[in-house]
Amino acid sequence: MTYELLDVRPMTKRIGAEIFGVDLSQPLGNQAYSEIHTALMQHQVIFFRDQALTHDAHKAFARSFGDLAIHSGVKGLDDHPEVVAIHADENSKFVAGEKWHSDLSCDPEPPMGSILHMHTLPDHGGDTLFASMYAAYDALSPAMKRFLEPLTAVHDGNHVYKAIFPDSTKTYPCNSHPVVRTHPVTGRKLLFVNSSYTTRVNELSKEESQAILAFLFQHVQNPNFHVRFRWQRDSLAFWDNRCTQHFAVWDYFPDVRSGYRVTVAGDKPF
């Protein structure tokens, strides 16, 4: 793929690219949109530097790729309900995304993508790891792929958000999705279970389900499928939530790390 406008620099062979040559605070022209979309489909997570964005500009950029989703577990900002604050400091008891996950896989239609803009970073640490679920699927043996193909799994938001909000009386989304999903744009198969939300493989006994999920959660941790992003002030990451998982490293306590995330609506996995 050749890019006319953008300078796209892959970070690994399997996942991740840094993108230069575009100002995301300005409306995207057709060519810029098309090249960013192509880079996202090719590299699954793309990173931009030095993008000072207002909430409106952040949302406008996200809207180029689809409708905005309202987070089903965490309340957005009062005046921008589609924008969720990501924040940790010396009072934090947990941080968002400390386990491998794809965002809101508990939703009936999990988000297509998430766009995270960071404005305050610790001096050291606070990286985010991303894993390619294409690479995780491709690395399985043909026999394991055949075994997983017809299975579905439960993705439950209740244990995730009740741990964060113990006093909440709210019921959070809980839905079943295929264990092996086909990406609606690329047509590639990928692994779609994660250690935050996925609780049970429907077609297996409880013990079988625990064993196979333990294997798959460990499989996803293989660094051969990963890229690691080191944030700077005004960095922005845009990940395709359908074919990646991510893990926010909390190695900077008690320092402050802060930013905002917007999610783009997705569709029902098949």
For ligand SIN, the binding residues (CB under 6 A) are 86, 96-97, 103, 114, 116, 128, 246, 248, 261
> Which of 45/216 has CB closer to ligand SIN?
45
C-beta separation of 133 from 190 below 8 A? yes
Would residue 261 show up in a list of annotated catalytic residues for this protein?
yes
Indicate which residue of 71, 103, 155, 226 is catalytic.
Answer: 103
CA distances from 158 to 12, 95, 109, 263 (A): 35, 17, 16, 20
Shortest Cβ contact with ligand SIN: which residue? 97
Residue with tokens 């086909």: 182
> Which of 128/198 has CB closer to ligand SIN?
128
C-beta separation of 3 from 36 below 8 A? no
> Which of 116/191 has CB closer to ligand SIN?
116
Q: Give CA–CA dist 13/19, Å, rounded.
A: 15
Would residue 58 show up in a list of annotated catalytic residues for this protein?
no
Indicate which residue of 101, 155, 177, 181 is catalytic.
Answer: 101
| Alpha helix stretches (DSSP H) within the chain | 30-43, 55-63, 133-138, 142-148, 158-164, 206-220
> Which of 109/138 has CB closer to ligand SIN?
109
Indicate which residue of 58, 117, 226, 246 is catalytic.
Answer: 246
Catalytic residues, by residue number, are 101, 103, 246, 261
